[in-house]
Chain A
Amino acid sequence: MSTKDPLVEADAPLCRTPATQQRLVDRRSLLTGGLGALAAGGSVGLAAGEPPRVRPRHAQRPRVVGPSRNPRTKYDPLILKLLKRATFGFSGETYDQAAALGYEGFLEWQLGHLSIDDSELDARLAPYDTLTMTSEQIVATYPNMAGVPVGQLTEAAILRAVYSKRQLFERMVEFWTDHFNIDILDGVCKYLKTADDRDVIRQYAMTSFPELLNASAHSAAMLFYLDNYTNVVGHAQENYARELMELHTLGVDGGYTQADVEEVARCLTGWTFAGPNHPTLDYGTFLFLPGQHDNGAKVVLGTNIPSGGGVNDGLTVLSLLANHPNTAGFISRKLCVRFLGYDPPDDIVETVKDTYLATGGDIKEMLRVILQQPVLTYLSTPKFKRPFHLAVSMLRAADAELTSARFVGAEIQIMGQLPFYWSPPDGYPDKLESWATSVLPRWDFASLFFDSQIPGALVNPTALLNSEGGSAPGEQAAAVDRILTGGALSDDEVTAMQDFYDTAPPPTGSVVRDLFGLGASMPGFQWY
């Protein structure tokens, strides 16, 4: 949202291009700008124009699938339910883990995410060098190549969702990324979002809400995105102050007034971050400038904040907001909507809110309440997968090998939900009506993926089918159902798919691909 950014000098890449101008470029070129630069940099991904190579992965390393996977009724419905809610979708491997640990065991294992070995994912992420860099290092390493950090972070988000064994953690990362939304294409957020993702969202996604809120308020990407870095005494700038209350804490009906917005803005005057040429501090380090702070007394939500508080004014506001019952209620409802259903019962929301208030906003404790077996069993209602979830669940179920997430990302963007690309501060919507009117892009994704038309996304439908006993006559649709959902499609859906398989024009390999694409396009695959 800034054109002439005083914090970044002319040598910082892309600052010469206004953020809005960027947005006017066709969204797809922007995407591939980001991801394309990555391939051009040679670190990861396919070379330009290289056709997708389908390695017969399953022929080399067949899935360990015993006869116990067959028939469908062997799947434990409670475990399936937990997987639907706590992960990015069913996969044979995750199911086996959960079945071995049991419902409670799997949930606790997922809640203790740091002790879950994720070395396979780490190896996949190793080539993405910017993920571990400071903002200063990213700018120094990739001057004039903002597409590199943008592309790497976006690809990494896809890889993590697909391959991480810390599935619940990744679901929470997605949740908080929406909650504390930052448009990665907004000016220098191209360089700053990587640190925000790592040091704010991922660092605190499973700790406590007050810690997360505090980290977000000190994040350079957030200070830039919502303009607080220009909020100075005498000329308060209320953008961040408003969204802090409306979107991050109290909620729009959380009981604050326009006067509160203006007072909070005053409290946060002087909150900024170090520019690239700062003599001592690294680029993107939080910085409080006392000379730009409004030192007068303030009143926020009826609480007097005496004059002379300096940086403590803002900290007081954050504490007031984090401990406010309306914040507890707002966060609790949002979590319940994400994990339980579009209109969760008030009782469970109240219980989660009580947990928030009793534990100081402990995120794991709230998740324990929401994901306990009776709650999921009796209080959850079907939710429509958002496009990112849909794509990731398909890749997981099909055991896809991503040699590059770049064109998967392009397809997810066509469906409307590439991570970090939502421009307004409210995050991608979590509402049925926002997504359920647009089915064609979803069918398109399913078809392209199983036809191996998405470069870098390798899948072998025939080997998958055979591994699940799908070579037997009349068993193909049931096998596809087991692979995609653990046997959750309806009997009618499976019957219709089998009829299709039995009558579709050859060759057989194409019919198998069609069958998977059809299965992933069925109503039963769209919900979780």
Chain B
Amino acid sequence: MPRDRHECHGCREFQEWSRRRFLGVSGSAFGALLAGPAWLPRIVLAQNERSDRDVLVVVFLRGGMDGLTSVVPYGDSNLYSPTLRPTLAIQPPGSPNGAVDLDGFFGLAPAMAPLLPAFQSGQLAMVHASGSPDPTRSHFDAFSYMEFGIPLQPLATFTGWLARHLQVMPPLGDGLLRAIAVTDLIPKMLAGAPATLPIPNPAEFDFPGRLASAAQRREVLDEAYTTASPPLPGAVQSTLATIDLLATIDFDNYQPAPGAAYPETQLGNAMRSIAALIKAEVGVEAATTELSGWDTHNQQGPLSGDMAVLMDDLSRSLAAFHVDMQNQMNGLVVMAMSEFGRRADENGSDGTDHGHGNCMFVMGGYINGGQVLANWIDGALLHPDLLYEGDSLQVTIDYRDIVAEIVQNRLGNANLAAVFPNFIPTFRGITS
């Protein structure tokens, strides 16, 4: 990856400093006491019983991923109408830089090709012309509607759909850390979730400061925060428990399964950490992370530009996770979704503006993979007469249909009314 040499200089320097800091200065007060070369786990945990509830991983693609590029409906001839996407449409399979065929109608963008093995293994499905039914084209409102799971009504401060799922379900393990967001901030889908923390780098989640006084300082803070204003007491309780929990896992020396090559990107590192966390079986029920930058209004670059770089990151991260977690795949569901799709027609700057329907990705051992689920009416959903508001892909499958089916059939939660209030989902057969 080409980078300014000064930036490279800076990052080396920082990494050295960072290592010193984390190994030499403020190593975990608790983890440091537990030696051992094996990455997992340094202390023996109570063995979890094999659960019939899958662990859920959600990758949110922020900015409005262009599903007409990532999963190309090349069988819809309207895609190649000269007024739709003269510069951006990826050509059918067999053409130079053409799509990688999936099923004779849909194909992957070349930069998404690393996902082909997972698709062919039957563990990866796409759901096209799907999304949130809310008409908003504001990123921020669309995040809210999709992550709160309450579209088509006035926005307020809600809890997230994943938070509500966790609220109504008993913990899978001891309940100390039920969900983790591998991001700086908690995403809205986890707003209000019990025992949930944002942990951008699980390897560095240590109690700070002088080892000799750590236990005492920790006790003071533990006590002081019990009477603090919400949500601080719960956050601190989870934080302290999680420090101990994560100290049992040696993320730095985690060895992915043979053949699993995570890209050296933020998403790649996040998926690698999530893999280590799930394999450690410490009771985490859900993990979220995200990949931003999909707001490709300008110079979208489906083959070699901005979007290609993003698709390469996404597909290689998910593909590595698929290989790495092969032995755990029967207890896992991974979903990747975006707040809305982009307009069917390109704009004047070789980019696309905000649209509506999109494509989502679902992976797991009990996912009916190897197919692209879609209601592609007459094979011509991109026909001008069928476009949403005349310019965008329709939402023919509500994303809540997909999520609800997974919540009930794979996460063992039949209380769908709590997760998606006032909504009767239609199961689409995404689970087997």
In contact, B138 and A246 (Cβ under 8 angstroms): yes
In contact, A523 and B228 (Cβ under 8 angstroms): yes
In contact, B4 and A252 (Cβ under 8 angstroms): no
Q: Which of A1-59 contact B (CB under 8 A)?
A: 1-5, 13-14, 16-37, 39-40, 48-49
For residue B398, CB closer than 8 A to chain A, the reply is no
Cβ of A234: which chain B residues have Cβ within 8 Å of it? 348
For residue B313, CB closer than 8 A to chain A, the reply is yes
**Of listed B4, B10, B228, B293, residue having the most chain A CB within 10 A:** B10
Q: Which of A42-83 contact B (CB under 8 A)?
A: 48-49
In contact, A227 and B351 (Cβ under 8 angstroms): yes
Residue of A whose beta carbon sits closest to that of B267: A24
Cβ of B18: which chain A residues have Cβ within 8 Å of it? 28
For residue B19, CB closer than 8 A to chain A, the reply is no
> Nearest Cβ in chain A — how far from B403, in angstroms?
22
Q: Which of A1, A36, A513 contacts B14 (CB 8 A)?
A: A36
- In the complex, A429→B183 CA distance in Å? 15
Q: Which of A17, A242, A497 contacts B137 (CB 8 A)?
A: A242
The digit string for B208-240, where 1 denotes a CB below 8 A from any CB of A, is 111011001100110111011101100110010
Given known pairs A147-B4, A443-B221, A523-B225, the reply for A236 and B185 (CB within 8 Å) is no
- In the complex, A429→B157 CA distance in Å? 14
The digit string for A349-376, where 1 denotes a CB below 8 A from any CB of B, is 0000000000000000000000000000
Given known pairs A18-B301, A436-B232, A439-B235, the reply for A24 and B1 (CB within 8 Å) is yes
Residue of A whose beta carbon sits closest to that of B346: A235
Given known pairs A382-B229, A424-B139, the reply for A438 and B6 (CB within 8 Å) is no
- In the complex, A493→B225 CA distance in Å? 10
The digit string for B183-219, where 1 denotes a CB below 8 A from any CB of A, is 0111000010000111010000101111011001100
For residue A141, CB closer than 8 A to chain B, the reply is no
Q: Which of A236, A246, A416, A505 contacts B348 (CB 8 A)?
A: A236
Q: Which of A40, A49, A453, A496 contacts B6 (CB 8 A)?
A: A40
Residue of A whose beta carbon sits closest to that of B243: A440
For residue A447, CB closer than 8 A to chain B, the reply is yes
**Main SS at interface, chain A:** helix
A121-129, A309-317, A514-522: which one contacts chain B? Answer: A514-522
In contact, B297 and A28 (Cβ under 8 angstroms): no
Q: Which of A49, A258, A503 contacts B13 (CB 8 A)?
A: A49
Q: Which of B6, B14, B17, B266 contacts A24 (CB 8 A)?
A: B266
In contact, B221 and A510 (Cβ under 8 angstroms): no
For residue A120, CB closer than 8 A to chain B, the reply is no
In contact, A496 and B224 (Cβ under 8 angstroms): yes
For residue B140, CB closer than 8 A to chain A, the reply is yes
Given known pairs A33-B7, A424-B139, the reply for A4 and B299 (CB within 8 Å) is yes
In contact, A25 and B1 (Cβ under 8 angstroms): yes
- In the complex, A138→B209 CA distance in Å? 41
The digit string for B295-309, where 1 denotes a CB below 8 A from any CB of A, is 111110100011101
Q: Which of B26, B213, B217 contacts A453 (CB 8 A)?
A: B26
Q: List 26 A-B contacts (CB under 8 A).
A: A1-B297, A1-B298, A3-B301, A20-B310, A21-B309, A29-B15, A32-B13, A33-B11, A410-B14, A416-B184, A424-B139, A424-B295, A429-B185, A438-B184, A438-B186, A438-B198, A439-B232, A443-B207, A451-B25, A453-B26, A455-B17, A492-B227, A496-B223, A511-B213, A523-B227, A526-B232
Additional pairs, 9, CB under 8 Å, beyond known A2-B298, A21-B306, A523-B227: A1-B299, A2-B299, A32-B10, A39-B10, A424-B62, A435-B185, A439-B225, A505-B212, A514-B213
Nearest 6 interchain pairs by C-beta = A235-B348, A36-B10, A33-B7, A29-B11, A230-B349, A32-B14
